[in-house]
Amino acid sequence: MANWIFNESHYEERDFSIIPEGNHRMRVSDVTEKTFRSGNAGYEIVFEVSGYSSKIWYYLVLNPAEVEQTNQRIGAFFASFGINDVQRGNGKNWIGKVGAAYVKHEPYNGKESAKIRYFLNKKKQETLPPWQDKAATTQPQPQGFVEVNPDDLPFM
């Protein structure tokens, strides 16, 4: 039989509902170098989304057959997240950087899925609200008692 001591302080109730379409602040939470099925190298980038528990995965494929398009995608990502020359070489240096992207919905395996359509430049990010931690997953608790006249209750 498995032996485990559960620590409730490590548990957090999460809501994994789909991120709505639109502009969102995002923070890089993980980066993994990969070789994709195409044989091209690149990065799997995981983003936290401001105000949500769900995350979005983005695949930055370095495609030597499409140099200009690949450089455009890399440049848009770096500009949005403020990644400078020194930080560009190692994907792990991108973790914690905050930028923004436009999210769209598209079908994936028979379900709607949130995908990054494009990254927002710094000018377009000015209209977004500041970073917000994950949305609360519990209902707000009452802050006090209200005195009620028993004659006003329908069930007494």
Residue keyed to tokens 């079908």: 107
pLDDT exceeds cutoff 70 at 14: no
Query: What is the mean predicted confidence (pLDDT) over 36-53?
Result: 94
Q: How many CA within 13 A on the CB side of residue 89?
A: 2
Tens digits of residue pLDDT in 77-117: 999 999 987 667 778 899 999 999 999 999 988 889 999 99
Predicted local confidence at residue 7, as pLDDT = 85
**How far apart, in Å, are the Cα atoms of 2 and each of 5, 6, 36, 145?**
10, 12, 37, 46
Per the CB < 8 A criterion, the answer to whether 50 and 132 are in contact is: yes
Distance CA 27, CA 131 (A): 9
Locate all alpha helices (DSSP H) within 4-143, ordered by sequence.
67-81, 122-125
Comparison of pLDDT for 144 and 26, the residue scoring more: 26
Taking the whole predicted model, whether its pTM rises above 0.85 is answered as: no
Residue 111 phi, psi (nearest 5): -130, 155
Predicted local confidence at residue 139, as pLDDT = 40
Number of H helices, E strands in the chain: 2, 5
Q: Which of 17, 44, 15, 14 is nearest to 103 (CA)?
A: 17
